[in-house]
Structure 1
Amino acid sequence: MSIFQTWKRRIAYGSTDMAGNIIWQMVSTYLLFYYTTVAGISAAFAGMLFFVVRFIDAFDALIYGYLIDHTHTKYGQSRPYFVWFGIPLGLLAMSLFMIPSFGGNTTMRLVYISITYTFFSLIYSGANTPITSILPSLTDDSVERTKLASARMVMTTIGTSAVAAITLPMVKLLGKGNQSKGFTLWAIILGLVIMGLFIFAFLNLKETNGAQNPDGTTESAESLSIWQSLKGAASNKPWLLLACSFILLQTFWMLRGNSAIFFIKYVYGRPELAPIFLGIGFVSVIGNLSVPFLSQRFKNRNVLQFSLVLGVIGQLLLPIAEKMRSVGLLIAGSVIFLIAMGITFTIVFAMLSDTVDYSTKVLGLNETGFLSAVPMIGAKLGMGIGGFLAGQFLAWGQFNAKAAVQSGRTITFINLAFIWMPIILLAAMIFMMQFYRLDEKELHANKADAAAKVEPKEDVEYDANN
C-alpha cells in the first residue's frame, strides 16, 4: 500500500469518529442550553430525559455488535453501517435543534423532544459501534492499528475543539440575533458535515483482514448466539478488564467535565478564565500523536498506566494552583492532564483491538462486533453515572445558583467532584491494569498460528514479568 493510500485510510478512519464526536460535543455542551434557554423547556424535564434515555440505550451497543458479527455483505461487516446509520444520524442531529411550535402546545413539544432525543441516542450507537469493530479488519499490523487509532483521536480532537470554539459565534452569525434560528441553521450545517464524513469513510475504507466468498460477501464464520457471545466475552479476561476500565474512564471524564465550570467560577474564583480553561482541549493532540512512538517501545498496558499516572499528577497540581492563586500552575496542571488523556483515549482503543485478536486467535471465537461494543456502553453509562454524580455532588454540597460566593461545604463538594473523585477513579484504573497481562507483541508475533484453534496459553495472556 502506497503512502498516499495509507494516509487516505487513516484520514477516512479518523473521519468516522470526527463525525460522531462533532454531534456528541454539540449535544453534551449545548443541547441543555438550547432546550432550556432557547426552547423554554424546563431544566427538570431535560435532565430527567437525559438520565432515563442514557440508561435505556446503554446496552444497545451490544445488540449492534451482535448484528455486526452476523452481517456479511460485499462491503464487509462493519463498513455498511457508516451509511445505514451515518445518514440518519445527521438528519436526527438536525432535528434536535429544530423544535416545532405545535401552535404553542407544550405537551406536543415535550413528546417531540423525547422522541427525537431517544432515536438520536439509539442511532448514535449504530453509527459509532462499527468505528471500533472495523479496526481489526482494516489491518493485521498492530503498529498500523495504533497509528489508525491515533489518527482517529487526532481528528476527534480537531472536531470537538472546533465545535466548542465556534458554535456560539456561528449561532450569532447565522441567526442574526435570533438564537433559535441560529442553532437550527448551525445544526443543519453540522448534520450535513456528519453525513459527508461518514460517506467519505464508507467510500475509502476496505475490510481487508478477512476472507471473502466468491460473490464478494465476507466469509461467515460459525455464527455465535447471544449466549455464546456473552460466554466468550466472559472468558476473555483482558477484555473484561478493559470493559470495566472504559466505564470508569467515561464516568470520571463526564463528572470532571460537568464540574469544570463550577470549579473555575466558584473555587478558583476567576470566571473570566473559563474560555481559556475549558478551551485548551486541543493540547490532547500531543498525547494522541505520541502513542505510536510509545507503543512501539513499551507494552500497551504500561503506556496506559503511564498516562493514568500522568493524569493524576496533572490533577494534583490543581488544588496547589488554587491555594497559590497561580494561573500558570492551573494551566500547567490542565495541560498535563489533557495530554495524559490524549494518550489514554488513544491507547485503550488499540488495546481493545488486541483483546479482539486474543478472542479470535487464542480462544477461537469470532465476535469482533460484540466485543467492540464496549466503548459505546462505557460512554453511555459514563454519561449517565458521571452526569448524575456531578448533579448529586452539587446537591450534597447545598449549591445555591443565586449566590455569587458559595459556602465552604459547597466548595468542598465541588473539589470532590472535579479533583478528588477523578483521581480516585484514575487510581482504580491503574490498579485494575496490574491484572491485564495480554502481551500484544507476542500475540501478533504468533499470528501464523491464528488459523488453528488453540487453548489459551499461559505465556500469551499472562507474563510474570509484565
Structure 2
Amino acid sequence: MEPNSAKLPIWEKIGYGLGDAASNIFFQTVNMFLLFYYTDVFGLNAKVAGTLFILARFWDALIDPLVGALADRTRSRWGSYRPYLLWMALPFGLIGYATFANPALSDTAKIAYAYVTYFLLMTAYAAINVPYSALMGVMTPSSKERTSLSSYRFVGAFGGQLLIALGVIPLVRILGHGDKALGFKVTMAIFSLLAVLLFVATFLMTKERIKPHHEKPDFRKDIGSLLKNKPWVIMVVAALLTLSGAAVRWAVTPHFFKYYGGYNDAAMHLFGREIFLDHTSLFLSVGSLSFLLGIFFTPWLVHRFGKKNSLMVLTLANAAVLLAFFFVPRGDFWTMVWVNALASLLAGPTPALVWAIYTDVADYGEWHFGRRTTGLAFAAAMFAQKFGMSIGGGLAGWLLGIYGFQADAIQSEQTLMGLRVLFSILPGVFAVANGIVLIWYPLSDAMVRKIEEELAERRAGASPDPA
C-alpha cells in the first residue's frame, strides 16, 4: 500500500500534464510542419533545411545534459526544477513565434534567420523541457504514482499533438486568407500565447517533494555513474532509434499527402457529403486520437505484463504496421487513415511507459551509485532522443533532395518512391531495431519495487538540503 505522502491529487497530475501540452505545441509543430514551412513557405532548399535540422537538433541535444546538471544544482524556494517553468515560459513563446514570423529577407538572410531562430528555439526548449521532465522524478517517490503521472503527462502531450494536427493547416488557411506566410505567422502567435499560459499553470499546480541531499557537486562523477548505469544506457539507445524513425515520418507527412497522395486543397466525401477538409489534418488528427486512446491502456498493460514486456511488444507490433503501410494503394486514403490509426493505438502507451521507466532508471542510479542526478539522467536521455530527431530530420531533408524533390512541382517516380520509403519503410526499420534493443533492459518490476523500498529507508534517515 502506498504511503499517503507518495500519492498525488488528480488536480496536480492534470497540472503536470498541461506542461507537456505546452511543450508539444512547438515540438509537434516543428516535427510535423517546420520542414514543409521551410521548403514550401519560407523558400529554403530541402538540403539546406535538412542540414539545419541536423545542426540545430544536435545543438539541442548537446545542451540538454548541461541544463540537467544546472537544474540538479538549482536551489530556490520553489525547488530545483519548477522555477524553470516560470522563468522560461515567456522566452519560449516569443522565440517560437519568431521562428515562424517569415520576415521579408534575401535568400541568404533567410538562411541566417532560420539558423538563428531555430537554434534559439531549441535552446529555449531545452531550458524549459529538461527541468519539466525531471520534475516528474521528484514529485513523488512512488514508482506506481509516477507511472500514473506519466500517463497524465502524455494525455497532455497528445492533446497538444491533436491540437496541432487538427488546427495548424486549417488556421493557416483561414487566418492567412490564402497567404500561407501570414497564416503561419498569426497561427503561431496564438499557439505561442497558449504555450506560455499552460507552462505557468503547470508551475502553479505542481510541487516538488523529494529534496536533494547534501552532496558535493561533481559533474564528472555524475556522468560516470550514468555511463555505468546499464538500464539507462539501454533506454538511451532505444530513444535514439525511436526518435530517428519518428522524426523522418513526421517531417515528410505534409509532403507525402501533398505530392504522393495528391490531396492538396482537395474536397473529400465525408458521411455522404462533399466538404472541404484537409487530408493531412484529418490523417494526423485520427492518429492523435488513436494515440490518446492507447494511453488509457497503460495501467492495464503494466499490471498485466509489466513495463518492459509491454514496451517491447508494442514497439515491435507498431513496427510491423508501419512496414505494412508501404503496401497501401496510393489512392486509398481511408485505408491509410485506419492503418495509421492502428499504428498510433499500438504506440499510444509507449511514451508513458518510457518516461516512467526513466524515473526507475534514475532511482536505480541513486540506489546503486549513491548519487541522485534526476535532471542529468533525464537530460542525457533527452540528448539521445533529440540526437535521434536530428538524424531523422536531417535524413528527411537530405533524402528528399537526393530523390529529386522540388517544391510546388510535379514529382518524378523516383521522388514519389522516396516519399513512400521515408514514410513507412525507414521508420519501420528503426522501430524493429528499437524493439530488439529493449530485450536487454534488465530492471524487472519486482526489482524496481525493491529499489523503491530501500531508497525510502535511506531517505528517511538522511537530512535534506535547505531549500
- Normalising by the residue count of structure 1, what TM-score does the alignment of the two structures yield? 0.85
Task: Say whether the 8 Å CA contact 1:266–1:406 is kept in structure 2.
Answer: no
1:269 and 1:108 map into 2 onto residues whose CA distance is: 32
Kept in 1: contact 2:85–2:202 (CA 8 A) = yes
Structure 2 CA distance, aligned partners of 1:327 and 1:198? 37
Give the 3-state SS of the residue equivalent to 1:373 in structure 2: helix
Answer whether contact 1:247 1:382 (CA < 8 A) is retained.
Answer: yes
Q: CA deviation at 1:19?
A: 0.6
Aligned equivalent of 2:340, options 334, 345, 361? 334
2:245 partner letter: F
Preserved CA contact (<8 Å) 1:318 1:329: no
Match of 2:445 among 416, 440, 444: 440
After superposition, residues 249-398 of structure 1 pair within 5 angstroms as 249-261=242-254, 263-264=256-257, 273-282=279-288, 283-322=290-329, 329-398=335-404
Q: Which has the higher contact order (CA 8 A, sep 6+)?
A: 2
| 1:159 corresponding residue in structure 2 | 160
**What secondary structure sits across from 1:349 in the alignment?**
helix
Q: Is structure 2 residue 415 aligned with structure 1 residue 419? A: no
Residue by residue, what CA displacement relative to the aligned partner does 1:318-370 show, whole Å, maximum 9, x if unpaired?
234339x7555433321111112212222111111110011112322211111
Distance 2:427 2:34 in 1: 25
Task: Quote the residue 1:148 is aligned against.
Answer: 149
- Determine if contact 1:170/1:182 at 8 Å carries over to the other structure: yes
* 1:416 counterpart letter in structure 2: V
Q: Displacement of 1:56 after TM fit? A: 2.7
Q: Contact 2:96–2:192 at 8 Å: present in 1 too?
A: yes
1:126 maps to 127
Quote the Cα distance in structure 1 between the aligned partners of 2:251 and 2:107: 28
Query: Which deviates more, 353-362 or 88-97?
Result: 88-97
- Matches of 1:406 and 1:40, distance apart in 2: 20
Of 63, 75, 79, the residue aligned with 1:76 is 79
Equivalent pair of 1:317/1:329 in contact (CA under 8 Å): no
Contact 1:266 1:411 in 2 (8 A): yes
Which digits, 9 at most, give the CA deviation of each residue in 1:261-301, with x for residues without a partner?
55556666766654433332221111111112211222211
Q: Of residues 61, 66, 69 in structure 2, which corresponds to 1:63?
A: 66
CA gap 1:278/1:174 in 2 versus in 1, 3 angstroms = closer
Check the 8 A contact 1:317/1:330 in 2, yes or no.
no
CA distance in 2, matches of 1:23, 1:186: 12
Greater shift after overlay, 325-334 or 290-299? Answer: 325-334
Instruction: Supply the distance in 2 between the matched residues of 1:29 and 1:400 (Cα, whole angstroms).
Output: 19
Verify the 8 A CA contact 1:70 1:223 in the aligned structure 2.
no
Does the Cα contact within 8 Å between 2:50 and 2:398 map onto a contact in 1? no
The residue number in structure 2 matching 1:215 is none
Deviation per residue, 1:89-141 (Å, 9 max, x gap): 0121122233555xx66666654443332222111101100122111211122
Q: 2:72·2:376 contact (CA, 8 Å) conserved in 1? A: yes
- In terms of mean alpha carbon deviation, does 150-159 or 38-47 score higher? 38-47
Q: Is the 8 A contact 1:128 1:376 kept in 2?
A: no
Whether the aligned pair in 2 keeps the contact of 1:239 and 1:352 (CA below 8 Å) is yes
Q: Are positions 1:17 and 2:10 aligned together?
A: no
Identity of aligned residues (%): 29
Task: Go from structure 1 to structure 2 and tell me whether the alpha carbon gap of 1:46 and 1:147 turns closer, same or farther (over 3 Å shift).
Answer: same
Q: What SS does the corresponding residue of 1:80 show, helix, strand or coil?
A: helix
**Structure 1 pair 105–318 and aligned structure 2 pair: CA distance change class (3 A):** closer
> What's the CA shift string for 1:154-188, capped at 9, x where partnerless?
11111121122222333344444554444333322
1:429 to 1:7, Cα distance in 2 relative to 1, 3 A: same
Moved more, 157-166 or 444-453: 444-453
Cα separation, partners in 2 of 1:197 and 1:241, compared to 1, 3 Å: same
Q: SS of the counterpart of 2:369?
A: coil
Q: Distance in 1 between matches of 2:222 and 2:25?
A: 32
Question: In the alignment, residue 241 of structure 1 is paired with which amino acid?
Answer: I
**Does the Cα contact within 8 Å between 2:293 and 2:345 map onto a contact in 1?**
yes
Q: How many residues align?
A: 440
TM-aligned CA deviation for residue 247 of structure 1: 0.8
Partner SS for 2:372? coil
For structure 2, the residue ranges without an aligned partner over 5 or more in a row are: 267-278, 459-467
What RMSD over aligned residues (CA atoms) do the two structures have, in Å? 2.9
**Shift in alpha-carbon separation, 1:168–1:334, aligned structure 2, 3 A:** closer
Instruction: Call closer, same or farther: CA 1:317–1:370 in 2, change over 3 Å.
Output: same
